[in-house]
Amino acid sequence: MESAYIIETIVKVVIILTVFSALAGITTYFERKVLAFMQRRLGPMHVGPYGILQVAADGIKLFTKEDIVPQNAVKPIFKIAPVFAAATAFIAMSGVPFLPEFTLPFTDYVVHPIVADVNIGILFVVGVMAVGMYAPLLGGMASHNKWSLLGAARTVIQMLSFEVVTGLSLIAPLMMVGSLSLIDINNYQEGGIGHWIVWAQPVAFILYLISGYAETNRTPFDLLEHEAEVVTGYATEYSGMRWGLFAIGEYANMFTVAFIASLVFLGGFNPIGIIPGGLAILLKVSFLIFLFLWVRAAWPHIRPDQLMWLCWKVLMPLAVVNILITGIVLI
């Protein structure tokens, strides 16, 4: 049993690493295509049929590009920072149950599609994602470049502030469920669309989505690497695969946020009617990812002072009030 468990865990880790690294690339393709269609363009068209091999071209480019380390950079930190971005994003995934339990075909071996079912699941995931803040911070400060430094400073204010909103917005549903385990939260919503937590906690859902966008550095809040203001922010000096690691980390975080949002608020992997649970959660996650791209095409982004205003004067009081009301109703 022990060795089987170890082998199972290793297999799951390898599958998650490969699947989500590949998904990061494929998502960039879909992001370009969706954005292009929304702006009446065609997007990538020349590499392969309908540009589908653009992902491969980008990958080859990233791997073979010269790896430049600036002369005055703090070299060890500069080199290790992107690893934090990708590593924390993938470590956070170890606490996420991606699919319902299933039995391996032709055996009676039950697979739990979660690497580590810790009983503080969501706390672990949110915490590790927050540690990912160190990657832009260290990378930006070690780069010896003023744009990188400004980008790093923005990273800290944005991520620290929105960490508060993430935490507070998740507290209300957790109070209803009474457990931090994502599997318990999922099982709490058994029994169809009517039992989803989003109907009981719409405000918390919206708050979580907003802060999720801010933490994954997506468009209304993409201040960390806004070209018009700070070139590419913390990533200005990065090239090749080191930059690629940042990108993979960002897309992996997008998927984690989408999975958490669908697990906590949208009924997780409970079957909807005839749709089996595994497909249901994939549909929800795909929709949330599409929402990320959709919002990017539609909305302009905001200034840093507006961001802080939004966080501390609007979202945080709302989250606290939401918790209060939830508490009163629960009592």
Partner 1 sequence: MIDFTQYNNRNISDDYFYLDIEKPPVTWQGKFKRVVKRTLSGELFVGLWIVFREMIKFDIHTIQYPLEKLPISPRYRALHQIKRLVESGNQACIGCGLCEKICISNCIQIDTKYGSKGRKVVKGYSINLGRCIYCGYCAEVCPELAITHGQDYEHVSEQRAHYATLPDLVTPMDIFKAGKQKPYPGFGSLTPNADNNVKKTPLAY
Encoded amino acid at 52, one letter: I
Distance CA 92, CA 115 (A): 10
Under the criterion CB under 8 A, does residue 314 sit at the interface with partner 1? yes
Cβ partners under 8 Å of residue 11, min gap 6? none
Under the criterion CB under 8 A, does residue 303 sit at the interface with partner 1? no
Q: How far is the CB of 38 from partner 1 (least distance, A)?
A: 4
**Are 307 and 214 in contact, with CB atoms under 8 Å apart?**
yes
Instruction: Sketch the per residue contact string, 43 through 82, with partner 1: x for CB under 8 A, - otherwise.
Output: --x-------------------------------------
Q: How far is the CB of 310 from partner 1 (least distance, A)?
A: 10
Under the criterion CB under 8 A, does residue 287 sit at the interface with partner 1? no
Nearer to partner 1, 1 or 40 (CB): 40
**Are 155 and 132 in contact, with CB atoms under 8 Å apart?**
no
Under the criterion CB under 8 A, does residue 210 sit at the interface with partner 1? no
Provide DSSP, 124-185: HHHHHHHHTTHHHHHHHHHT--HHHHHHHHHHHHHHHHHHHHHHHHHHHHHHHH----HHHH
Interacting positions 11-50 with partner 1 (CB under 8 A):
34, 36-42, 45
Nearer to partner 1, 241 or 291 (CB): 291
Under the criterion CB under 8 A, does residue 175 sit at the interface with partner 1? no
Under the criterion CB under 8 A, does residue 302 sit at the interface with partner 1? no
Name the DSSP letter for residue 226. -
Q: How far is the CB of 57 from partner 1 (least distance, A)?
A: 17
Distance CA 213, CA 222 (A): 9
Burial track 15-24 (b if 16+ CB lie within 10 A, e otherwise): ebeeebbebb
Instruction: Sketch the per residue contact string, 242 through 281, with partner 1: x for CB under 8 A, - otherwise.
Output: ----------------------------------------
Q: In the structure, how many helices (H) and strands (E) does the chain have?
A: 14, 2
Under the criterion CB under 8 A, does residue 299 sit at the interface with partner 1? yes
Under the criterion CB under 8 A, does residue 295 sit at the interface with partner 1? yes
Under the criterion CB under 8 A, does residue 308 sit at the interface with partner 1? no
Binding site for partner 1 (CB under 8 A): 34, 36-42, 45, 294-295, 297-299, 314
